[in-house]
Structure 1
């Protein structure tokens, strides 16, 4: 059986809040906008969706609502990582029961397992589910890198099919693309989309794609078509968006962008905070420049 392949630009959607509650109506409107504007798929309950401050029940409810709202139009990749293998198993089971198409699993954070421990963690979860698993390496948040050799080894597991790579290291990315067969390597370092596609990657799971996802996807499509000058032009058009959305701790700036585009997503939950007024002004200027508002 052919392995699942993921190509394009997937949006790790923010979780909208109204007070302490999740704003279901805003989530639905946001999903409609992203699909209409060309997002390949959506990724609820990941880092940008504030998975760290969602309760277990909220996490599962956001996944279930997203699957229902999308209604099969694009893939839903549910964030399901944890530093507890037991908790990860519960989250993956919930995603599968909700009807998600795949799960995105960050490496265990804080407790700093060995590379062998990470392999056993991911293998244990993979054995528990029929869903495709996309690994998520983000060492600046987890405190530990998943080494290229570890990822290549995990790529041999039938339903571990891809990677969201936030290593920030093109040499590491190349070693994974070179060593892992039939494996979807996508960037999560938004400014790297053009480069990663040129190296043989398949796209991105990108916070910045809340803004004009179809433009980001054009980069993937143009590289695939060999139209490098056009792809490079779109890259440099969109690059300032990626810069401004990470100019302060995420998801503050991207939530500011969504508010400016008409979605009452509310501020992040503490300890994360809203974008500063100066950052919000910079976000507004970039949205105006690309015609997003």
Structure 2
């Protein structure tokens, strides 16, 4: 399974009451595919506020986005958790709905060791035929899956990729040691181009909500051999890559990108507690960032 090189970790639109806004979800899918050139959508990942979505909401979103995508992009369901049994259940339910793959985060809070991580992901893979993407984000989980464990998991046929939020060093080690058809994605927009340079496949992005078309051009330029142009685009987009998270001080994802989408006329609403919307100063920073 090739999910493409530019995948968007899609926000979940909410209405004023904090419920899923289905009409705006449809509009957002069209916008991301047609205008921002995304090749895949992660539904109910971190940017989709998965911790505050119920299983019922997640399953409805998986089915709805798959239908709205109409085959124009791959739909990847965020089905991972810190419970192996629960992850298996949600992954199997997502498979029934016809999604193209699943994203499985490293278990958080209970802090398994490397063997526990291997058995967790191998156990899920054994219970589904879906292509699976691992998701290593130690800043959120407090556990870092080693390159060696990822390479070991890459030998399992339906574990086809990983999303890495550690370092370009980690990407390099995994790309060097895993099968040729195992794809390594950056989970850090600012590392998208460096990831390609060391053998990674692409990016699972937040910034692609706003500058996806430019990111697609950057990736295409690099793949076609125009490294200078790719570098120019990267440097131009770098303030967006950093600003959506620093804003000008750290702001929890997806607060900033949701506000930026509102500025673009997409009524995706605010975030669910315990996340909060940008302050006036933060909002002014985002507005200036986009205008620049």
TM-score band, normalised by shorter chain: over 0.9
Number of residue equivalences: 285
State the 4+ residue runs in structure 1 displaced beyond 3 angstroms: none
* Aligned-partner Cα distance in 1 for 2:234–2:220: 12
Q: 1:218-257 residue pairs with structure 2 within 5 A?
A: 218-247=217-246, 248-257=251-260
TM-score, normalised to structure 1, is: 0.95
Does 1:36 find its partner at 2:34?
Answer: yes
1:5: how far off? 2.6
Does 1:11 find its partner at 2:14?
Answer: no
Bigger Cα displacement from structure 2, 41-50 vs 86-95: 86-95
Q: Secondary structure at the match of 2:68?
A: helix
RMSD: 1.0
- Correspondent of 1:24 among 13, 22, 25: 22
* Aligned-partner Cα distance in 1 for 2:268–2:162: 28
- For the 8 Å contact 2:102–2:132, the answer to whether it is kept is yes
TM-score, normalised to structure 2, is: 0.95
Q: 1:1-293 residue pairs with structure 2 within 5 A?
A: 4-18=1-15, 19-37=17-35, 38-167=37-166, 169-181=167-179, 182-247=181-246, 248-289=251-292
* Aligned-partner Cα distance in 1 for 2:211–2:139: 26
- For the 8 Å contact 1:251–1:268, the answer to whether it is kept is yes
- For the 8 Å contact 1:202–1:220, the answer to whether it is kept is no
The C-alpha deviation readout for 1:63-98, integer Å capped at 9, x for no partner, is 111111111111011111100011101111121111
* Aligned-partner Cα distance in 2 for 1:93–1:115: 24
* Aligned-partner Cα distance in 1 for 2:190–2:211: 15
* Aligned-partner Cα distance in 2 for 1:5–1:25: 29
Bigger Cα displacement from structure 2, 128-137 vs 211-220: 211-220
* Aligned-partner Cα distance in 2 for 1:153–1:89: 20
Q: Which runs of no fewer than 5 residues in structure 2 stay unpaired? A: none
1:115: how far off? 0.6
1:222: how far off? 1.3
The C-alpha deviation readout for 1:165-195, integer Å capped at 9, x for no partner, is 111x221111001001121101011100010
1:7: how far off? 3.1
- For the 8 Å contact 1:6–1:184, the answer to whether it is kept is no
- For the 8 Å contact 2:134–2:161, the answer to whether it is kept is yes
Q: Secondary structure at the match of 1:201?
A: coil
1:121: how far off? 0.7
